[in-house]
Amino acid sequence: MQTVEHPLVSQSIGTRRTLTRLHFGTAGARPKVMVQASLHADELPGMLVAHHLRQMLTEAEAAGRLQGEVVLVPIANPIGLNQTVLHSQLGRFELASGENFNRLYPDFADWLTEPDQHIAPLLGPDAATNVATIRQAMHAALDRRPPVTELDSLRHALMHLACDADVVLDLHCDFEAAVHFYTEPPCSDTLMPLAALMGARAVLLAHGSGGRCFDEALSGVWWQLRDKLAQSHGDAFVQAHPFPQACASVTVELRGQTDVRHDLATSDAQAIMAYLVHLGVLAGAAPTLPPLACAPTPLAGTEVLTAPHAGVLTFLREPGDDIAAGDVVAEVIDPVTGQTTPIRATVNGVLYARHIVRWATTGLDIGKVSGQTPMRSGNLLSA
């Protein structure tokens, strides 16, 4: 294991934060997998998974099992991790800018088709060479845009680490939840074995959910670049200059914020190790994949249940429960008048996440059910 520290831009005199990454295997070996934890710095289950993963990878490396390369970033957001305000840790938004730490990542397909930096003349007939060319162009596009702020420098450093990876696992969690994935449709075939190993109860698919998330910046470039080249240069050019979906990236939601337990983290880390064997990053007998605990569904099909009025919120159903249309998921109760309002799902699916608060304000998103039929459009993510 090699430990590398990367200083972030200092936002003020007398302070400097550092991003630390752990490398396993030989730099440049393939497949390359990047795993990062707690980009939303108040979502901590992934950090404990990273702790167990570090030990397992260290043993695997000592046993000579590393065939590819693994980059592990156990603390992906040292800025948010230190934002404690009035005894509460606020890790989702940067206090200085109000920006979500998991939004506003590069639009690489846009950057690689700018008139003076267009990728098209650099592509040739060999797919593997084109993949290397596109990855090199992403690094160069980042280098042409040196970061100014501390937050910029964090995003910039994470993108340099991840943009040439074959698989990227971005470990998050929801308030209270079952394991679920957010990814783009071109990545799902590569990632479903991990969904099976982790027992994911929902795999939510969207071609870009609208927020320029970390994982979508990395997977989006490949299919978006192909679409853009088809538009500007025609289908025949794309066929003559092929490249695959060379990165599968995913936001893995590791249950809820308080599900920070050794038993869960150990089994999650073991699932990731088995997946690394499946990918050929680690030598070993291919794991037996358990049956999937869900089929992928469109993120646009998720029903977001809301509170119609304020009141005490009490749930009748647990994260991971199968829900039928018409089922009462929760009640909102006005304890002054006694008004009790049942909140019913209108779709069949899994209650994969629910809120952590128990006082509902009017309009609060109280839970999410993975419906199968698209019903929403526009930005599909919460703030």
CB nearer to Zn ion: pick between 40 and 355: 40
Compute the least distance from the CB of residue 135 to Zn ion, in Å. 26
Binding stretches for Zn ion (CB under 5 A): 40, 43, 172
Please compute Rg for the chain using Cα positions.
21
Taking Cα atoms as reference points, which of 133, 145, 71 lies closest to residue 105?
145
Alpha-carbon torsion (220, 53, 88, 153), positive or negative: negative
Compute the least distance from the CB of residue 102 to Zn ion, in Å. 6
The type of residue at 337 is: T
* Integer Cα distance of 343 and 341 in angstroms: 6
H helices of the chain, in order, are: 45-62, 78-81, 108-111, 127-143, 150-162, 188-198, 214-233, 235-240, 262-279
CB nearer to Zn ion: pick between 60 and 179: 179
Compute the least distance from the CB of residue 175 to Zn ion, in Å. 10
Compute the least distance from the CB of residue 2 to Zn ion, in Å. 28
Q: Is 262 exposed, middle or buried (0-12, 13-18, 19+ CB in 10 A)?
A: exposed
Compute the least distance from the CB of residue 101 to Zn ion, in Å. 8
CB nearer to Zn ion: pick between 92 and 241: 92
CB nearer to Zn ion: pick between 43 and 259: 43
Judge contact between 34 and 169, C-beta under 8 A: yes
Q: Crossing angle of helices 127-143/150-162, nearest 10°?
A: 170
Compute the least distance from the CB of residue 260 to Zn ion, in Å. 14
Judge contact between 241 and 130, C-beta under 8 A: yes
CB nearer to Zn ion: pick between 68 and 367: 367
CB nearer to Zn ion: pick between 172 and 278: 172
Compute the least distance from the CB of residue 181 to Zn ion, in Å. 13
* Integer Cα distance of 233 and 292 in angstroms: 40
Sole residue written with tokens 């003020």:
12
Taking Cα atoms as reference points, which of 212, 263, 240, 251 lies closest to residue 109?
212
CB nearer to Zn ion: pick between 40 and 180: 40
